[in-house]
Structure 1
Amino acid sequence: MKRLSGLRLRVQNPERLAGFYADVFGMEVQAEGEAWRAGYAGQDADLILLPGGVQVPHKRDERYWKIGICLPDLDTACEQLRRKGVEVPAPHQFRDIGYMAHLHDPEGYAIELLQHDFAGSRPDGAGDAALPLGGGAHIGQITLRTGDIAAEIPAHSDMKLLSVQDVTEFGFDLHFLAFTDETPPDPDLRAVANREWLWRRPYTTLEFQHIAGAQLRQSPAFLGLEIS
């Protein structure tokens, strides 16, 4: 079966940024010519950092938005990040979607940290303070924006739609697709019961933030996905 194996981003200094992801997030890194690959061992996608980027503010009208790193213990992860001098706000439960925190890497790319369990539901001993980010981290989502989800779904017909999440008060909804044969526990793809299940998947999902009718521009940093 195919898998979503990489996100290609154009950055200013691939080696330096790869070093940040290794030191701060515990990723494994290796050089690939002028590019660097950073990621976790497992089924999830890597970051493929290519040269030629220019540091500019990343705005909401761009196609590319963020990566999401899913992990068992967000509080432990945030404590570790702060000890390393990384600015990260206090985690919070965002609606009925997840317990999360947001930050940026040194080149301004957005990162979402998302706990497997909702606030108050994390089992005792879920994290190990001796391991990077408390252990068990993986790239759970690569997030793109779209103004027309009705066109995106058939364009990705080889992927399975796993979850739809309405965030109407913020003007968008979320759609999660993956290369998988798995079926969510609740057949209603809008069911809240599917969400903690989704954050535990070992593979990377392609997340679309659907802003109906939005006119989006291509991000100069986003160079596409690697499918293998």
Structure 2
Amino acid sequence: MPVKRLSGVKLQVQDPERLARFYSDVLGMTARSGNGSWRAGYAGADADLVLQPGGRPVPHSREERYWKIGICLPDLDTACEQLRQKGVEVSAPHQFRDIGYMAHLHDPEGFAIELLQHDFQGSRPDGAGDPALPLGGGAHLGQITLRTGDIAAELAMRADMTLLAVQDVAEFGFDLHFLAYTEETPPDPDLRAVGNRPWLWKRPYTVLEFQHIAGADLRDSPAFLGLEIT
């Protein structure tokens, strides 16, 4: 029986071609058109962005179900320096708690993008990034992040996926749950173990991340058309 794969996130955008070019020219993805939409993605087993026409120029809200994509990479500092040289506004890299070394930006239509280094701040191996390559090389779409007010219902709906990690962010009022179509298991069987996190950021497939805000009443995201699973 074929193994399922999270192969895309479908977004309705204002200008699919222009946005696909941003992801290729700035973030190093490959862009291609077909069937009235554009796809942008990295080589490998991770998911693509499936950009479909018809989007409206509306601001994206924290009360919506769709949040962001996460791009994982070996060298965050090199990636951010490259983006600034291209005139892209990106936040200063920082170690967020015991979760990861990260930075944030938005694409030209306002969609959130998280850049997440494979290793924690201060733990990056020497020579991890290559300034000659886009984002320092080795980038992949690590996460597609949705919000939910009922994680138990989400897990029940996705019983065919493997829960790889749970991360508490109590001071911000949420926790994070990471699922994937995989038979892999984390090095530490404790899904809350901090030591599993760099392992998680290095997975070669895209993980479905839920930001769980208990009891939250979230709105549908006008731009989010669903996940592509093949």
TMscore range, shorter length: over 0.9
Deviations 1:164-223 (A, max 9, x none): 000000000000000001010000000001000000000000000000000001100000
Equivalents in 2 of 1:19, 1:33: separation in Å? 17
Asked if the contact 1:146/1:214 (under 8 Å) is kept, the reply is yes
Deviates more, 1:157-166 or 1:29-38: 29-38
Alpha-carbon distance between aligned partners in 2 of 1:181 and 1:188, rounded to the nearest angstrom = 16
In structure 1, how many angstroms separate the alpha carbons of the residues matched to 2:135 and 2:164? 26
Query: Residue 111 of structure 1 aligns with which residue?
Result: 113
Q: Which residue of 2 aligns with 1:51?
A: 53
| Conservation of the 8 A alpha-carbon contact between 1:165 and 1:190 | yes
Separation in 2, partners of 1:26, 1:190? 32
Unaligned 5+ residue runs, structure 1?
Answer: none
One-letter code aligned to 2:213 = I
1:181 counterpart residue number: 183
1:198 aligns with 2:200: yes
Which letter maps to 1:76?
T
Letter matched to residue 149 of structure 2:
G
Structure-1 separation of matches of 2:114 and 2:102: 7
- Report Cα offsets for 1:42-74 as digits up to 9, x if no partner: 000000000000121111110000000000000
Q: Which residue of 2 aligns with 1:69?
A: 71
Structure 2 Cα separation of the partners of residues 133 and 114 of structure 1:
11
Amino acid at match of 2:174: F
Q: Distance in 1 between matches of 2:154 and 2:14?
A: 30
Q: 1:212-227 to 2 correspondence within 5 Å?
A: 212-227=214-229
d(CA) in 1 for partners of 2:167 and 2:152? 15
Shift of 1:32: 1.1
Count of aligned pairs: 228
- Listed as ranges, the gaps of 5+ residues in structure 2 are none
Match of 1:147 in 2: 149
Q: 2:22 corresponds to which residue?
A: 20
In structure 2, the residue matched to 1:32 is: 34
Cα distance in 2 between the residues matched to 1:227 and 1:12: 24
By how many angstroms is 1:33 displaced? 2.3
- Counterpart position of 2:10: 8
TM-score (norm 1): 0.99
Partner Cα distance (1:51, 1:77) in 2: 29
TM-score by length of 2: 0.99
- The 2-side partners of 1:8 and 1:70 are apart by 20
1:137 and 2:175 matched: no
Partner of 2:160: 158
C-alpha distance after superposition, 1:113-133 (max 9, x if no partner): 000000000000000000000
